[in-house]
Amino acid sequence: MKILATYKLFFLALIFNLVSQKTFSQTQGPTIEQDSKIEALLKEKRRINSGITINDLYKIQIYIGKSDDCKRILNEFKSNFKDIDGTMVYNNPTFKVWVGSFKTRIEAEKAILEIKKKYPTALLIKPNK
């Protein structure tokens, strides 16, 4: 009789377990609604980041100094040389203004000749990764 009661209890626990799993389980995955503007912003961010990465390309450093001065120089450079991209890089304890991304040294040397007319302290660099 005691064995029969144990089997009944085990059987009821098994049925309850199966029913509760079926009852409380999720049948549908989450739905994510994303604004189309987010995807457009991500594409723009990827485009901008690809132009300012530190890689094996040659760059021209036109200024080194404080943050405010670098921002002013970079804005001035962008207004004078619209076809060459530039960025500010922080290297403790100063900021640097790097412009251009040239594949070959010859391209960079051609550009630096024009840039040195306006920024005489410009120098050609090849940043490390």
Domain definitions of the chain by residue range: 47-125
Question: Tokens in use for 28?
Answer: 């549908």
**Segment 12-25, tens digit of pLDDT:** 777 776 666 555 55
Nearest-Å Rg of the Cα atoms of the chain is 31
Please report the DSSP string for 49-93 in residue order. Answer: HHHH--SSSEEEEEEEE-HHHHHHHHHHHHHH-TTS-EEEEEETT
The whole-angstrom separation of Cα 61 and Cα 112 is 10
pLDDT in tens, the chain (129 residues): 667 677 777 777 777 766 665 555 566 777 888 888 888 888 888 877 765 555 678 999 999 999 999 999 999 999 998 889 999 998 888 999 999 988 888 999 999 999 999 999 999 998 765
**CATH architecture under which domain 47-125 falls:** 2-Layer Sandwich (3.30)
Q: What angle do CA 108, 71, 41 make, to 5 degrees?
A: 85
